[in-house]
Amino acid sequence: MRLSSLEYLSPRNVKGILNVLSEHGREAAILAGGTDLLVKMKHRLIRPRLVVDLGMVDKLRYVKWDKKGLRIGAGTKLYEIIQSDSIKAKFPSLSQAASSVASPQIRNMGTVGGNICLDTRCWFYNQSHWWRKAIEPCFKVGGNVCHVARGGDRCWALFMADTPPAFLALDANVKIASKSGERTIPLSQFYTGKGKSPNVLKQDELVTELIVSKNGYKSSYVRFSFREAIDFPVIGVSASLLLEDGAIRDCRIVFTGVGSSPVRASATEEILKGKGVEEAVIEKAAKEASSEIRPISHMEIPALYKRKLGGAMVKKAIKKALEEVDG
């Protein structure tokens, strides 16, 4: 599968990247790890005239700690997150989420920024041009049908990235830059919930940094997928828990794979808050999570199965986060 012809630019600094994006807007695509971008280009899902490569911008590639907490450059490779002992010790969920992405090769190429900006996916969308020619164009490609939710009035493509739920469960902020300036927003405001355009990033904007300021939280990420490698999760769950005298003072439960953006399970969190760490509480939370999430049936995965799985995964995520306490 060949790529269409294109122009290639590799500025050496962020300013250079932002200039290209501001000048070329819609015609330019940002190339970070390339593991998703080039596949979409080969499938002719996007046809940028120009790619602007972040690979030469060393200043986007760092893991550092300061008084704000943890700062990760958007160009940091996923394997660099996994290799960081300080991340593993303080925010194991980030380490676990990065480790579950695809395969060793893809983790060596893919970046944190790329994983945060990962597009939603669908069986009827992530296919070759040739395959898609046989079906009516769906919402995601600019048509007006949804092949998953027949008669639906919007795109139901699923958000399946692994690291966003982990960052969200730690209340991370994301720094976004454009030629006209910089803004930092909570990552929870970065996602739109729309299958067609899952994040708020504009054509001339670039994600430059992720900031995690949480302190003292135990955290975990667990996922269920049909294959152990080179597969997106059916469901992934990240849990973060703040314990005080054996009770859960604060917590976050965030899903991936159940909607068009990462989904926070607030009702489930309420059940956990203020309670002791007991089997019965975890069981009740899992039950709540099952009914709280609103998955729809996608291809071979029925909604009911996903609900049950969601509950089981919440249980697993909480227990895994707590293991960090003992071990």
Partner 1 sequence: MKRILRLMVNGREYEVAVSPHRTLLKVLREELGLIGAKEGCDLGSCGACTVIIDGKPVLSCLTLACSCEGKEILTIEGISSEGKLHPLQDNFMKYGAVQCGYCTPGMIMSAKSLLDENPNPSELDARRAISGNLCRCTGYVKIVEAILATKG
Return residues touching partner 1 (CB under 8 A). 1-8, 10, 31, 34-35, 38-39, 42, 51, 53, 55, 79, 102-106, 108-109, 228-230
> Are 27 and 9 in contact, with CB atoms under 8 Å apart?
no
Report the nearest approach of partner 1 to the CB of residue 277 (Å).
30
Please identify, using beta-carbon distances, which residue of 105 and 189 lies nearer to partner 1: 105
- Cβ distance to partner 1 smaller for residue 121 or 218: 121
The nearest distance, CB 2 to partner 1, in angstroms, is: 7
Distance of alpha carbon 92 from alpha carbon 79, whole angstroms: 14
**Nearer CB in complex with partner 1: 51/112:** 51
Exposed e or buried b per residue across 25-43, where buried means at least 16 C-beta atoms within 10 angstroms of its C-beta: eeebbbbbbbbbbbebbeb
C-beta closer to partner 1: residue 40 or 179: 40
**What residues contact 319, with CB distance under 8 A and at least 6 apart?**
282
Tell the smallest beta-carbon distance from residue 129 to partner 1 (Å). 13
CA 233, 185, 203: angle at the middle one, nearest 5?
Answer: 75
R_g over Cα of the chain: 20
Residue 264 CB, shortest distance to partner 1, in Å, is 30
Residue 55 beta carbon to partner 1: minimum distance, rounded to whole angstroms: 5
DSSP letter string, 232-252: --SEEEEEEEEEETTEEEEEE
Coil, helix or strand for 206?
Answer: strand
Our CB check for partner 1 shows the closer of 108 and 213 to be: 108
